[in-house]
Amino acid sequence: MSLTMHRHKVLSVSLGAESRIDAGHLTIDAGTLRAQLMADDRLGNVSIEMARPGDSTRIVCVKDVVQPRIKKTGSIQGMGVLGILEDVAVVTCGPIVGFQEGIIDMSGRGADYTPFSRMPLFVLRIEAAHGLGPHEHEAAVRAAGLNAAEFVAAVCIDAEPDTVEEIALEESPVDPRLPRVAYVYMVLSQGLLHDTYVFGRDAKDGLPVLANPGQVYDNGIVSGNCVSACDKTTTFHHQNNPIIAELLRGHGNRWNFAGIVITNAAVRLGEKERSAEAAVTLVTEMQASGAIVSKEGFGNPDADLMMLLQRLEKSGIVTVAITDEFAGNDGGSQSLADTVAEANAIVSTGNANERIVLPALAKTIGPLPDVSRLAGGYPHTLREDGSLEVELQAIIGATNELGFSHLSCREV
């Protein structure tokens, strides 16, 4: 049993009278899509615009980014044929849901810090119906993004894919001399708009759980959170998790990919301890000799990360963690809220407190004055000349803790 991924390369995009893909040229019927979205009475208004790489366009108060994917055949998660449109995404934005949303610049200095500046985007500017509370607002925007992504992806149902990839659901035969490496995949589950949905359920319940790559790739994890934009794991990040991809590439030649443990970042100390113990038990049962741990967010989740690192190392499992840092504007402050002696191998994805000035751009999609209210913004963020002074914290994906970035550091 396996998940077959049909990948369709997108070369150009446009809005038109019908939805189709022809030789990589994608056209979407915005009128029909808008009508479908407006059937949700939780939405007061939806406008659909295009943003392309190199455009002098800024998208603000971004809630989520979703890759268009649709099940061509099969109904069970992680099985059947999945159609995927490559190098294109759906973005949701609009009046703030929770203050920890972010910015995508399609050109200028800010474009260097977000991977989404390198692909054309269908941008949904969404306004909630009057009187809708923040949790209902988040749910409505989340549903709109997923519905729009599926609508866009429907063009590839009958199209011939450019490439086909098979993802095995179970561990394939491997060289027993190679080390067994597990992946501990921590997602936010703190409530108060810091939520993630795993296999259709709120991550506060039912985790940790074992998973295989096919289940994750098949829209198995959906972002529902408003954590700081820099290290928000958007739905697109989950759909294209680079750690899983690298572990699959090295399987059978550099290591044996033992499997995935999806775990959560709880709120109360006792829940954190129980979750960490259960996750480590699952990794131990895999007979793993090594593990990679990723997390989402900062502050409170740092404690979950350290509990996992300490318990894994004490169980004899060599462990590497991936995290960003909040080390102050000058990089001189304590980077993480918690640490343990066993945390001796950590990969940093950058300092989210670093300040940056983003140039004025010709077009803005979303409520520009609200940028001063975003995490990483200041009362003086929006300057008279239209430029923005923000921390990297305000840019979607700037320090993503899956390592999903085209930037890297070098020793000097």
1 pLDDT above the threshold of 80: no
| Average pLDDT of the segment spanning 15-31 | 96
pLDDT for the residue numbered 254? 94
Each residue of 35-87: pLDDT tens digit? 999 999 999 999 999 999 999 999 999 999 999 999 999 888 889 999 999 99
Report yes or no: 246 and 404 within 8 Å, Cβ to Cβ: no
Question: Is residue 396 one of the residues assigned to a domain?
Answer: no
Residues 327 and 309 in one domain: yes
97 pLDDT above the threshold of 90: no
For the chain, what is the domain count? 2
Residues 209 and 295 in one domain: yes
Residues 310 and 214 in one domain: yes
- Boundaries of domain holding 23: 2-162+356-388
Question: Is residue 409 one of the residues assigned to a domain?
Answer: no
Q: Is the dihedral of CA 295, 145, 267, 232 positive or negative?
A: positive
Residues 254 and 158 in one domain: no
Each residue of 330-339: pLDDT tens digit? 889 999 999 9
We report the CATH number of the domain holding residue 343 as 3.40.50
Residues 100 and 200 in one domain: no
Residues 383 and 274 in one domain: no
Residues 28 and 126 in one domain: yes
pLDDT for the residue numbered 169? 60
How much is the mean pLDDT over the chain? 94
Is 226 labeled as catalytic in the residue annotation?
Answer: yes
Residues 22 and 112 in one domain: yes
Residues 147 and 200 in one domain: no
Residues 293 and 315 in one domain: yes
Using CA atoms, how far apart are residues 286 and 257, in angstroms rounded to an integer? 10
Residues 138 and 210 in one domain: no
pLDDT for the residue numbered 411? 67
pLDDT for the residue numbered 96? 83
The pTM is what? 0.96
33 pLDDT above the threshold of 90: yes
Choose, from 61, 93, 226, 230, the residue flagged as catalytic: 226
pLDDT for the residue numbered 295? 96
Question: Is residue 11 one of the residues assigned to a domain?
Answer: yes
Residues 20 and 58 in one domain: yes
Question: Is residue 129 one of the residues assigned to a domain?
Answer: yes
